[in-house]
Amino acid sequence: MSYSALIFNGKFVYGFSEVHEQALISCDAIHHERRILLKQEIGRMVLFFTDQPSLLAPNIQMVFSALALAQCEVIWFFQHVGIASSKSKVARMVPVDIDPNDPTIGFLLDGMDHLCCLVRKYIAVLKDFTSFNAAIRGYALSYLSSCAGRIRFLLGTPGMVALDLDATLKTLFQQIINHLENIPKPQGENISAITCDLSGFRKDWLSILMIVTSARSSINIRHLEKATVSTGKEGLLSEGNAAYNWSRCVDELESQLSKHGSLRKLYFYHQHLTAVFRNTMFGPEGRPQHCCAWLGVASSFPECASPIVPEEVTKIGRDAVLYVESLIESIMGGLEGLINILDSEGGFGALEMQLLPEQAAFYLNNASRVSIPSAKSPKGAVAYPLPGHESYPENNNSIKMLEAAMQRLTNLCSVLNDMEPICVLNHVFVLREVSIDMFQVGYLYPANLLGKFVFNILDDVSTEVKYFQQAIRYSCFLIIIFSLYVQYMRECILGNFRRRLLSVLKTDNDLQRPSILESLIRRHMNIIHLAEQHISMDLTQGIREVLLLETFSGPVSSLHLFDRPAEQHTGSATEVVCNWYIENIVKDMSGAGILFTPMHKCFKSTRPVGGYFAESVTDLGELQAFVRIFGSYGVGRLDTMMKEHTAALLNCIDTSLRSNRELLEAVAGSMHSGDRIEREACLKQIVDLDTIIGFCIEAGQALAFDKLLAEAAGAVLEEGAPLIYSLLAGVVKHIPEEIPEKREIRRMRGVANGVALAGDHDSEWVRSILEEVGGANDGSWSLLPYLFATFMTSNIWNTTGFNVDTGGFNNNIHCLARCINAVIAGSEYVRLAREHHQRQLLSNGHVGNADSLDPDMRVSAEASIKSAMQLFIKFSAGIVLDSLHESNR
């Protein structure tokens, strides 16, 4: 539809609005195609000029054209993205539907950044400094020198003579030739030292174009072109325009690069910029290597500020700083996200899938039923994926996704490792949450100060020293920048590892099995080691620091001599796991029916404790995994918590002995005299007997669990440090048997008992508890065998039964026997050591030295233990035989 037709039909406004609406509808598709084309072409240009840098100079105009077009497309995109147009009939505006997830923007920004970097390699960046290459400027000078002859030839052609140019045009053309002929000829000397101002040439050429394009001139632009195009070469206008463009590559190369390569206008859309970055960087077509380009955009934001408005400079600078900080947080979040994706069950977890014992039993039962024709098929399909399912052809997509995530992680780590500091005004960002003010630090100096000192030897010695000092200070500043950058990345990766460690401690139901927890930690560590190969930092040491921070719970009593501070930090991971074991296994607070099975060396439960049965978290394999994860600090913390719990139970026994002392003395007298009636009367007066039995059973459970923990620690020590284990085993055999023992001997015996190398673990453990809390310190403990003998009158034996499958009783009475044996032996050792100490005080008036130890005390202690055990067995058997009858067997 022509313009006149629109007027004639009286529909000019309507037709124009239709065209406008159509343009709005189709503009996004058109610009999207342009961006795709630019993405491909700029990518090829970067690869080509990187491989053939010598060809950049002849094609610099094409590079500037590509930069200008890419700049236009990027700015157009952000001018329209996120804009909601009004749909009212008055405005008649059609919204431009722009996809904020378009990945071509990142490619364009990255391509522009690479092209600008290539061009800068051929520019003398600092006026006072010598550039290592000025190929673009040298080529431009050579082209202009040759262009002078061609223009002179074209002005002398018959067509130009026939035009009969007026005096003004002739003068201008002559000045053009003079400008070009007076250009210095590069003769191999330093091109950067050549000074040449071609602004006069450009002014004259623009004057010619203004004249020939004016309607008042008798000579128009077509006349000039037709008059010179018949020569078979470029026309006069083409030569002049080319010379005009190449002249700007001599004295305005930096300004051209700044004009076409700058994206300072994006400041006005920096909020959309951040949103598009987050939507595209870690999308399906995002590239980690684009991070530098997105961050580098902020360096041009301050150019939008007017220097005469201080408030504007401050505001734009603040916005630029916030923009960079926001992008850095997104980048670090993306890095953590990639690590977590690989660490998920859909990542490496799918390759490490193993069946739990109960799942394997389900499969075996299912297979046995299917193999029997008469058996009915089980209801429902099996919900557990079999190991190796990832190798099936239908699961190729998951493997490809895993490979893509690994590739993206390694690429991102490489990019972050090579990323240079980002400068915005007086701030330098080193991938930290805060920036560094260079003015305050005092290192705001050009990067080539050292180069100036080397290449431009100055006459003034003091000036040389000044430049050298500045160069050294700048080098130190770069070292500081790099160290802070590395520290920030390290903190992000290790912080994510710590959060992952705390998150996998528990499942939806309850505590995670130690073996599964160990495999999850190792999987995450392997991913970090994969990233470590592409980052110039030691993350292995950082992992050790995190694990130590989460497991350290104060000094290990048998290993460290220093005291624990009052406000000592305790590893949260260790606390969580140890508290769970104490509450659910030792104390059985959930009422799951915890039973110790001596035959299998583990605890079992009648119902699940959280998500697992007790045997799934207490067998030696699981406890060894616990030891490997939390080390000696975790073992020491769990041992300390069980000692505290057992000490409270022993205190209850002490309280019972004190409160029932007169009755127990009467019971002992009646037992020795054989007075059955008096004995039974005294036994009936002892209160809370069943409660004391429950406390003793619980103490026996703690003894059994600590023995399992010691065996697991010993197995891990033997596997990881066999020389230390064998040395400790040899030393224990030659420890002198003395009472009381020297402090060093006591510590050595405690270390050996912690790895199940001591002879009698239970008695040594109870002995150490009584020594720490000062237990068994009065005469009532001599009545201990009689108190234990009274347990035979309890009704608990009516429901006791032996289980041949577990090697124990159904109500943990075997733990009671373990407690009785350990408490009698431990209390006798403590009592004899205290008596020896008191005799030394009475005889010498002071504590005896180490030479006064009695070697026969050990023999007497063992004899005293045997005597106490004989009393317990004798009177226990008597009570059992006296109460035995047909109704009570």
pLDDT category of residue 705 using cuts at 50, 70 and 90: very high
Pick the most confident of 78-82, 308-312, 420-424, 650-654: 650-654
CA distance 524 to 245: 57
CA distance 849 to 841: 11
286-290, 615-619, 621-625, 727-731: segment of lowest average pLDDT: 286-290
CA distance 119 to 135: 10
pLDDT category of residue 843 using cuts at 50, 70 and 90: low
pLDDT category of residue 315 using cuts at 50, 70 and 90: confident
User: Of 888, 687, 693, 668, which Cα lies nearest the Cα of 809?
Assistant: 693
Using CA of residue 739, residue 742, residue 745, residue 751, what is the dihedral sign?
A: positive
The residue with greater pLDDT, 641 or 461, is 641
Identity of the amino acid at 282: F
Q: What pLDDT is attached to residue 710? A: 92
pLDDT category of residue 5 using cuts at 50, 70 and 90: very low
pLDDT in tens, 135-183: 788 888 888 888 888 888 888 888 888 887 888 888 998 898 888 888 8
pLDDT category of residue 253 using cuts at 50, 70 and 90: confident
User: Of 253, 156, 258, 158, which Cα lies nearest the Cα of 198?
Assistant: 253
> With pLDDT > 70 as the criterion, what percentage of the chain qualifies?
71
Q: What is the mean pLDDT of the chain?
A: 75
Q: What pLDDT is attached to residue 455? A: 32
| 651 neighbors 769 (Cβ within 8 angstroms) | no
User: Of 726, 702, 715, 741, which Cα lies nearest the Cα of 836?
Assistant: 741
The residue with greater pLDDT, 674 or 786, is 786
Helix segments in 611-675, DSSP class H: 615-618, 620-659, 661-673
Q: What pLDDT is attached to residue 712? A: 93
**Residues 797-817: what's their mean pLDDT?**
84
For residues 201-213, one letter each, b for 16 or more C-beta atoms within 10 angstroms of the residue's C-beta and e for the rest, the string is bbebbebbbebbe
**Residues 553-577: what's their mean pLDDT?**
65
Position 463 pLDDT exceeds 50:
no
Q: What pLDDT is attached to residue 505? A: 83
Q: Are β-strands 427-429 and 602-604 bridged in parallel, bridged antiparallel, or unpaired?
A: unpaired
Q: What pLDDT is attached to residue 38? A: 92
pLDDT in tens, 214-245: 878 778 788 777 777 765 667 888 888 888 98
pLDDT in tens, 367-408: 666 555 444 444 444 455 555 555 555 555 555 666 666 677
pLDDT in tens, 619-647: 899 999 999 988 888 888 898 889 999 99
**Residues 423-449: what's their mean pLDDT?**
37
Q: What DSSP state is assigned to residue 561?
A: -
Helix segments in 121-235, DSSP class H: 135-155, 158-163, 167-181, 199-212, 221-229
28-42, 50-64, 290-304, 399-413: segment of lowest average pLDDT: 399-413
Q: What pLDDT is attached to residue 711? A: 92
pLDDT category of residue 558 using cuts at 50, 70 and 90: low
